[in-house]
Structure 1
Amino acid sequence: MINTPRTRDERRASNDTRAARPAARVIAPDGFAPFGFHETLCRGIRAAGFTEPRPIQRDAIPAGLEGRDILGLAQTGTGKTAAFALPLLQRLVTEPGDGPRVLVLAPTRELASQITNEIDTLAQFAPVSTAVIYGGVPMNRQIKALRRRPQIVVGCPGRVLDLIEQRILQLGKIETLVLDEADHMFDMGFLRDIRKILAALPRERQNLLFSATMPKEIRGLADDLLHRPHVVELAGNGPAGTIDHALYPVAESRKRELLDAVLQRADSAIVFTRTKRRAQMLATHLQKKGFRAVGLQGNMSQNARDRAMNGFRTRRFDILVATDIVAR
């Protein structure tokens, strides 16, 4: 057999063929493979560092993919954001269309931003856009984001209702409503705003409600909102299993001394206080002791609160001192 040199055109055709070969398909981590997520979401799951689904994800994701209503009784830190976000993203990727199609309500600006960041991580390779809206900052940037018709809107009830009443936020295409930390929204007096928002939504939609506790007012809301829901019950009366707990009996006069000693052994920590004043005083005390600490409380401007949260997330600060209502 005689080998003859290939012409330039033949070499170019061969190179074009190699270039046109599809990239290797990205497979979800083994624990997520049975759910059958779109390849773009599989890439996002890997980028988020997920390997095995958490219990709430194993239980809630199949029901979410079926379009069922869900009542989730779960604490913070259980993985519930991915549990509701992944099925919603699967629908948005496989059935594209203009938004907003998903509305997520959260009690605080910090939680709304946290939810948005996690969704953005999971959807970073997918053609899905998000917008986060909350009070305490000018509306202009949020209005601009809404005019791009994001598929997912995450926000706090007060600002969401304000934009609805100004006819800036149009909810006629909403397919799914998520209420996260519903008990905390009730504690903060948002129940009336939530019911007004519900009146602006299409009647036919999927509803997901997550709460660590079920006071009678939230039980009544769930009964009105959810149709034959799939119930995921992971919340208990004990502490969250993802956090180590210890009790140190100590005199009031020696609290700071003990806290200093405990924090010396911690790589990263959140310290909760009862009042805004105490949060700021303790943050200042820790800074003087040489800790990379920052305070987070309601008297701070939104920009200062964002800087504190971002600094803690990026490890510019190792210790966050916060009032419990702000830290939710």
Structure 2
Amino acid sequence: MSFKQFQFMAQINSNISTCGYEHPTPIQEKAIPEVMSGKDILGLAQTGTGKTAAFALPIIEKLAGGPRGNVRALIIAPTRELAEQITTSFKELAADTGLRILAVYGGVGKKPQFDAFNRGVEILVACPGRLLDHLNNHDLKLTSVATLVLDEADQMFDMGFFPDIRRILKHLPSKRQTLLFSATMPADIRKLADETLTNPKEIRIKLEQPLDLITQALYPVSKRQKSDLLVHILQKDPVEGSTLIFTRTKYGAKNLAKKLEKSGFSTSALQGNMSQNQRNMALEGFRDGTFKILVATDIAARGIDVSRVAQVVNFDLPSTAEAYTHRIGRTGRAERSGRAISFMCYDDQAMVKAIEKLQGKTIKRIAIDGFYMEEASEQQEQKGNQVPRKHNRRPKKQTGPRPSGNRQKKPAAKAKKSTDPKRASNIFGLGQKGK
């Protein structure tokens, strides 16, 4: 199938060729005719399937010959990076059509955005928070919006944007076309779809990522040893190319990047507390090879398309098996081999089983001398030691001044406590240092 079968206007066909698109992807084949017909869409598709062009092309086709000056299409994305990428795609595909496209997100001044509204914008790509700020300030109106796109809806839910989304919807006309795309479809996303879509066409596209090109491995390790194990692997078993490391929190990303820098690796972090300039520098540095390692959270990395990633490291495993597949799919692209390594602590075993069930195979375990995963008994012992010790200390402070403090039962309590440090040393591996 070719793009010519969609019968786009000549300028759009020319732009498609300029962008290097030859054949539509599966989601483009299925979604473009439905969007062109005006139907609402519920799309289950991940980054890398070509979904941006799947909604951008029909939107451009419908708006190119229409009235100008007001926002006719609104695309809402969870992160600044994704908003920028969507905007770039729209500008490339809408070149020389006269359509004006604007990206709106936080971290930059509001005035240039306000000035652009006054000049006129037909296609607006926005992050929820900044868009709501403009709406509350009456900087723009969305009463002319004909098509609404909610991209990466599951990520917007994870970031807590759903209340903002519902407030934004109140500014839109009830009669409109709505396209909702999500990588996963949990109950909350399904509920939002029921609220915003009318008789939608449901499209499900699996990410056609050849996992057989990716060498996967699990490294059992305790939580306190993870950063040391990472340094060990990067030093003893380096890869040719860049490494993308995922952490669960933005603070974890920042601290891990600092540790790797101190260990001699050219590293940058990508996390929510950075300014827009810092984020751009981190991304560009990773793309051009200035930084060989990028440490990021799922939220910060969502939508980022960086080619030639040789290795993905799950420093912290994700919360879903699907997210794991999406993470490691950043490597092994364009028929190039890649490596994905994951650290597995005691608490991660259930998630590992879910990942292996989804893939239908067992992932290889690699044990490194000196690095061990906690045993269940150690975890229980740690919890059993830490809580009672807090309670044992406080009665001493309360009962000491009392007249009944001359009872001779305290030595027994002390004797009982004296065994705790030994047990604690076994839990945290302190006894191994003496070997």
Task: Name the TM-score class by shorter chain.
Answer: 0.7 to 0.9
Match of 2:219 in 1: 249
1:95-244 to structure 2, matched below 5 A, reads: 95-235=66-206, 241=209, 244=214
State the SS of the aligned residue for 1:128. Answer: coil
- The verdict on how the C-alpha distance between 1:313 and 1:91 changes in structure 2, with shifts beyond 3 A counting, is farther
Matched, 1:72 2:39: no
1:79-98 to structure 2, matched below 5 A, reads: 79-98=50-69
Match of 2:233 in 1: 258
- The verdict on how the C-alpha distance between 1:193 and 1:247 changes in structure 2, with shifts beyond 3 A counting, is same
1:20-35 to structure 2, matched below 5 A, reads: 31-35=2-6
Work out which of the two has the higher radius of gyration on C-alpha atoms and give 1 or 2: 2
- The verdict on how the C-alpha distance between 1:193 and 1:154 changes in structure 2, with shifts beyond 3 A counting, is same
Cα deviation per residue 1:158-217 (whole Å; 9 max; x = unaligned)?
Answer: 111111111112111101000011111112111111111111111111100001222222
- The verdict on how the C-alpha distance between 1:157 and 1:277 changes in structure 2, with shifts beyond 3 A counting, is closer
User: 1:77·1:242 contact (CA, 8 Å) conserved in 2?
Assistant: no
Q: Which amino acid aligns with 2:273?
A: N
1:326 alignment partner, one of 300, 303, 310: 300
User: 1:271·1:319 contact (CA, 8 Å) conserved in 2?
Assistant: yes
2 CA distance for matches of 1:318 and 1:122? Answer: 32
1:301 alignment partner, one of 266, 269, 275: 275
Q: Which amino acid aligns with 1:229?
A: P
Q: Which amino acid aligns with 1:325?
A: I
2 CA distance for matches of 1:261 and 1:173? Answer: 59
2 CA distance for matches of 1:314 and 1:255? Answer: 23
Q: 1:228 offset after TM fit, Å? A: 1.4
Q: Which runs of 4+ in 1 moved over 4 A?
A: 260-263, 284-292, 313-318
Matched, 1:280 2:254: yes
Cα RMSD (Å): 2.4
2 CA distance for matches of 1:118 and 1:311? Answer: 22
Match of 2:416 in 1: none
Match of 2:362 in 1: none
Q: Which amino acid aligns with 1:276?
A: K
State the SS of the aligned residue for 2:64. Answer: helix
Q: Which amino acid aligns with 2:232?
A: E
2 CA distance for matches of 1:36 and 1:202? Answer: 29
User: 1:294·1:308 contact (CA, 8 Å) conserved in 2?
Assistant: yes
Q: 1:76 offset after TM fit, Å? A: 1.8
Q: 1:61 offset after TM fit, Å? A: 0.7
State the SS of the aligned residue for 1:247. Answer: strand
Q: 1:107 offset after TM fit, Å? A: 1.1
Q: Which structure 2 residue ranges, 5 or more long, are not aligned?
A: 303-435
Q: 1:125 offset after TM fit, Å? A: 3.3
Q: 1:275 offset after TM fit, Å? A: 3.1
Match of 1:63 in 2: 34
1 CA distance for matches of 2:107 and 2:204? Answer: 34
Judge which range, 246-255 or 108-117, deviates more: 246-255
2 CA distance for matches of 1:118 and 1:303? Answer: 21
User: 2:79·2:127 contact (CA, 8 Å) conserved in 1?
Assistant: yes
2 CA distance for matches of 1:173 and 1:194? Answer: 18
TM-score (norm 1): 0.81
2 CA distance for matches of 1:143 and 1:316? Answer: 35
Match of 1:11 in 2: none
- The verdict on how the C-alpha distance between 1:274 and 1:92 changes in structure 2, with shifts beyond 3 A counting, is same
Q: Which structure 1 residue ranges, 5 or more long, are not aligned?
A: 1-29
User: 1:263·1:269 contact (CA, 8 Å) conserved in 2?
Assistant: no
Query: Percent same amino acid at aligned positions?
Result: 47
TM-score (norm 2): 0.63
